[in-house]
Amino acid sequence: MSATGIGASIKRVEDLRFLTGNGHYTDDINQLDQSHAWILRSPHAHAKLNSVDTSKAAAAPGVIAIFTGADMAADGVGGIPCGWQIHNKDGSPMAEPGHPALAVDKVRHVGDQVAIVIAETRDQARDAAELIAVDYAVLPAAIDMDTALSGASLVHDDAPNNRCFDWEIGDRDATEAAFAKADHVVSIDLANNRLIPNAMEPRAAISEFDRSTGRYTLHTTTQNPHVIRLLMGAFVLQIPEHKLRIVAPDVGGGFGSKIFHYAEEAILTWAAAKVHRPIKWTAERSESFMTDAHGRDHETHADLALDKDGKFLGLRVATKANVGAYLSTFGSSVPTYLYATLLAGVYATPAIYAEVQTVFTNTVPVDAYRGAGRPECTYLLERLVTKAARDLGMDPVELRQKNMIQPDQYPYQTPVALEYDCGDSPATFASALKASDYAGFEARRGAAEKNGKLRGIGISTYVEACGIAPSAVAGALGARAGLYESAQVRVHPTGSVTVYTGTHSHGQGHETTFAQLVSESFGIPADLVEVSHGDTDQVQFGMGTYGSRSLAVGGPAILKACNKVIDKAKKIAAHILEADVSDIEFADGKFTVVGTDKEMAFAEVSLAAYVPHNYPIEEIEPGLDENAFYDPLNFSFPGGAHICEVEVDPDTGHVEVIDFTAVDDVGRVVNPMIVEGQVHGGLAQGVGQAVLEGCVYDADGQLLTGSYMDYTMPRADDLPNFSVSTQGVMGASNPLEVKGVGEVGAIGSPPAVINAIIDALSPLGVTDISMPATPNKVWQAIQASSVRQAAE
């Protein structure tokens, strides 16, 4: 056990550079002789490209080159690929229309790429882009999902009725049988509002081509540099890996939106070899709004069958999910395997059937955003269960407790493919009820009433699946890649260590947490460990950071490499200490011959490995540097309970989140300080989704929420201090016993907030509020409420 090992809230290694302005984000980097790019984007949601005339722009001051989709097509550049193939109910594959990096014949959403202008300065590139004459023949836009499904206007000619796929999971017959014998059926219709991720750092990239070696380098704001190298190199530009280096330096937040291979990365890399100059591009925030993949956007009808005592018998779900204009990298997996496989939630519902239709529309592609499918699922379940309690006159706490999977039922096979390895929902729920003083709520409601406020309390109990993913399972479900992780642990001659990980840190603090793993394993201080990530020339391979996978999948890879180091070091120590290797023990950073005082420190063995003067050279190669790949046995299943209290001002409809209590089971906690911070951030995104944020397109496909003037980001004075704690059942599916924490806050919290608002308004007869619960929406609900109507 090391003082800087697992369980220690050590301060972050990353902070010094960020606090002093010495971070290296992509836009902070400049290359010698660099040029600048501006991307001309479509102002229309849907239009035929009759012609793109660049002649006037090409003559503008400073312009180096202008390229259009026709130029890329002439070079045989491939389309942007999707990483996950879903099959329809009839077994046929999903519709997978082409996605050219620069539009060729049509533009399909506002912001779609039409041309790239490369100039000496960014302003010159931007000025010249305004001189490009594009002849658009505007077509009717398919914006809302129902209009799109009518097929009146096709986003892609090869996707009839704009349907991407029509997919199902679960046992339909068993579920229908459950409904046939039900005493009660409770139904709900709800939408999961579309969100715009808004990592604070806009996307950016710098491409270079070295004509003397034929090598390309791309610095880009990505969460997974090796995935970008694979997708762009193999499928879009046909550049072999040894000629393509991807660097993700410091990245200012991702939340999923920087997983995907974006068109700009391919356009810039391709163009660098045309102009023989480095090219830099940085998105303006308005470009982020109209080109970063959006999140959520589901419409769902669901029915819950219960017996007379309130036991859940069956769940039936029909969801429409918007995938936007093109299939983004994981766009097809989010509304299917990351969503409907969790429909059991924390409940022992015996029969579940879900069908999901996905729809192309003339909007920005929709893909994974913090939680990715699991927030949509949790919101549905926890709204539905709360509604069931209200409709049947039951206590929402008791109804949940009655139906929860009990600790002795793990491993628990759900009716929708997943097997939960471990958990204890009743325990986290009990702790959250206590921590929030749930029992004392009615007194607080009464006190608020005296102040003219409507106070409400809302519950969400959830489980999620993360640690993506066991490769065989993911492959069987349609993933086109394995989702293991790799690590290299390089011990240097004097005993310091560099860890190379295929995950990427963009706020999560891996440089600290992963150093703690090595500190624990080798019994050395964490400050002797450096974590390297983000450069495909340094790290052998990796699948990156998303789906709360870094510690759950990347962590065990590091542990495995550490164990290989220890195994080899034991052999070296045995030779030097003249003992049998089976008699060597390693603990607290020392190799000891059992039962003797003969010992060697970790650093002494390291030195012997590199200065092998007294060394078993016939049996072991010199050096102490090991690689490992780790593939998890199962997903990991964090869960917990979130309880929210709000006060509504009935005169204005303003909702104030007064208290928020979260008790989360994330398995073993490596750095409690970092874990709490991750939960805080997730909760803020969940509260944001519930009361503030919502993407709005008009019927023509213009993005009405295209800036921070229009899209309501959570601000400091919108949020309370959060009460967060962790309470764990140690993870069963990986040797670190960790589960993942990056998304739990965003997954569990939105229904707690909305349930609290509905509870606050329930004395007025309000039974439903959709997200985001803006003051206008709440005020309108109050005006329309049955109690208000009766009074007037």
Partner 1 sequence: MPTVSMTVNGKSVSAEVEPRTLLVQYLREHLGLTGTHVGCDTSQCGACVVHVNGESLKSCTMLAGQAEGADVTTIEGLANGDDLHPMQEAFRENHGLQCGFCTPGMVMSALDLVKQNPDPSEKEVREWLEGNLCRCTGYHNIVKSILAGAEALRG
Residues 6+ apart with CB under 8 A from 434: none
Instruction: Tell me phi and psi for residue 427, to 5 degrees.
Output: -70, -45
Q: Across the strands, what pairs with 352?
A: 315
Query: Smallest gap, in angstroms, from Cβ of residue 727 to partner 1?
Result: 19
Q: In the set 71, 96, 112, 250, which binds partner 1 (CB under 8 A)?
A: 250
Least distance to partner 1 from the beta carbon of 24, Å?
A: 8
Asked if 69 is part of the footprint of partner 1 (rule: CB under 8 A), the reply reads no
- Any idea which residue has 């709900």 for tokens? 188
Of 58-66, 224-232, 638-646, 679-687, the window that binds partner 1 (rule: CB under 8 A) is: 679-687
Go through the chain and tell me how many residues it has.
792
Binding piece for partner 1, criterion CB under 8 A, among 10-18, 207-215, 233-241, 546-554: 10-18
Residue 16 found at the interface with partner 1 (CB under 8 A): yes
112 interacts with partner 1 by CB under 8 A: no
Does 684 engage in binding with partner 1 (CB under 8 A)?
Answer: yes
Interface pick for partner 1 out of 123, 527, 588, 621 (rule CB under 8 A): 123
| CA triple 677-679-685, angle to 5 deg | 110
To the nearest whole angstrom, how small is the minimum distance from the Cβ of residue 355 to partner 1? 34
Contact between 210 and partner 1 (CB under 8 A)?
no
* String of contacts with partner 1 for each residue 726-755, x by CB under 8 A: -------------------x----------
**CA 26, CA 48: separation in Å to the nearest integer?**
34
CB of residue 201 to partner 1, shortest distance in Å: 5
For residue 28, state whether it binds partner 1 (rule: CB under 8 A).
yes
CB-CB neighbours of 632 under 10 Å: 24
Q: Which residues contact 426 (CB under 8 A, 6 or more apart)?
A: 401, 404, 406, 407
Question: Of the listed pieces 98-106, 318-326, 668-676, 697-705, which binds partner 1 according to CB under 8 A?
Answer: 668-676
Is 682 near partner 1 (CB under 8 A)? yes
Amino acid occupying residue 742? G
403: its two tokens: 């139906």
Residues 180-209 that bind partner 1 (CB under 8 A): 198-202
**Which of 387/506 has CB closer to partner 1?**
506
Choice from 53, 105, 210, 284 touching partner 1 (CB under 8 A): 284
Contact (CB, 8 A) for 542 and 628: no
Q: Is 23 in the site for partner 1 (CB under 8 A)?
A: yes
User: Residue 207 and residue 336: Cα distance in Å, rounded?
Assistant: 35
Nearer to partner 1, 578 or 717 (CB): 717
Interface segment toward partner 1; rule CB under 8 A; list 232-240, 251-259, 544-552, 726-734: 251-259
Structure tokens at 738: 């960790």
How many of the chain's residues bind partner 1 (CB under 8 A)? Answer: 56
Tokens 């990353």 locate to 14
Task: Say how far apart CA 574 and CA 585 lie, in whole Å.
Answer: 10
CA separation for the pair 98, 156 (Å, rounded): 8
Q: How many CB atoms lie within 10 A of CB 173?
A: 9
Q: Is the dihedral of CA 325, 329, 333, 335 positive or negative?
A: negative
CA–CA gap between residue 570 and residue 523 (Å, rounded): 14
| Residue recorded with tokens 């106070």 | 455
692-705: burial string, b at 16+ Cβ within 10 Å, e else: bbbbebeeebbbeb
Kindly state whether residue 645 participates in binding partner 1, applying the rule CB under 8 A: no
Give the interface segment with partner 1, choosing from 427-435, 465-473, 647-655, 708-716 (CB under 8 A): 708-716
Which C-beta is closer to partner 1: that of 508 or that of 634?
A: 508
Q: Which is nearer to partner 1, 536 or 685 (CB)?
A: 685
> With binding defined as CB under 8 A, does residue 658 bind partner 1?
no
Question: What residue type is assigned to position 552 of the chain?
Answer: A
Return the residue of 234, 348, 397, 673 that touches partner 1, per CB under 8 A. 673
User: For residue 205, what are its two tokens?
Assistant: 């990239």
Does residue 644 belong to the site contacting partner 1 (CB under 8 A)?
Answer: no
Pairing of strands 184-192, 298-306: antiparallel
- Strand, helix or coil at 114? strand
**Choice between 545 and 606, CB closer to partner 1:** 545
Q: Which is nearer to partner 1, 30 or 212 (CB)?
A: 30
Q: Binding to partner 1 by residue 40, rule CB under 8 A?
A: no
27 binds partner 1, rule: CB under 8 A? yes
Which range touches partner 1 (CB under 8 A), out of 128-136, 349-357, 629-637, 718-726? 718-726
Q: Where are the beta strands (DSSP E) in 101-230?
A: 106-107, 113-119, 133-138, 163-170, 184-192, 204-210, 215-220
Q: Is 749 helix (H, G, I), strand (E, B) or coil?
A: helix
Structure tokens at 276: 């023989």
* x/- track of binding to partner 1 for residues 491-530 (CB under 8 A): ---------------xxxx---------------------
Residue 511, both tokens: 């440089």
Please identify, using beta-carbon distances, which residue of 421 and 647 lies nearer to partner 1. Answer: 647
Q: Is 451 in the site for partner 1 (CB under 8 A)?
A: no
Minimum CB separation of residue 716 from partner 1 in Å reads 4
| Residue 70 binding partner 1, by CB under 8 A | no
Per DSSP, 551 falls in state I
Least distance (Å) between residue 544 CB and partner 1: 16
Where b means 16+ CB within 10 Å and e means fewer, 378-389 reads: bbbbbbbbbbbb
By the criterion CB under 8 A, which residues form the site for partner 1?
11-12, 14-23, 25, 27-28, 123, 198-202, 250-253, 255, 282, 284-286, 506-509, 673-674, 676-677, 680-685, 707-709, 713-717, 719, 721-722, 745
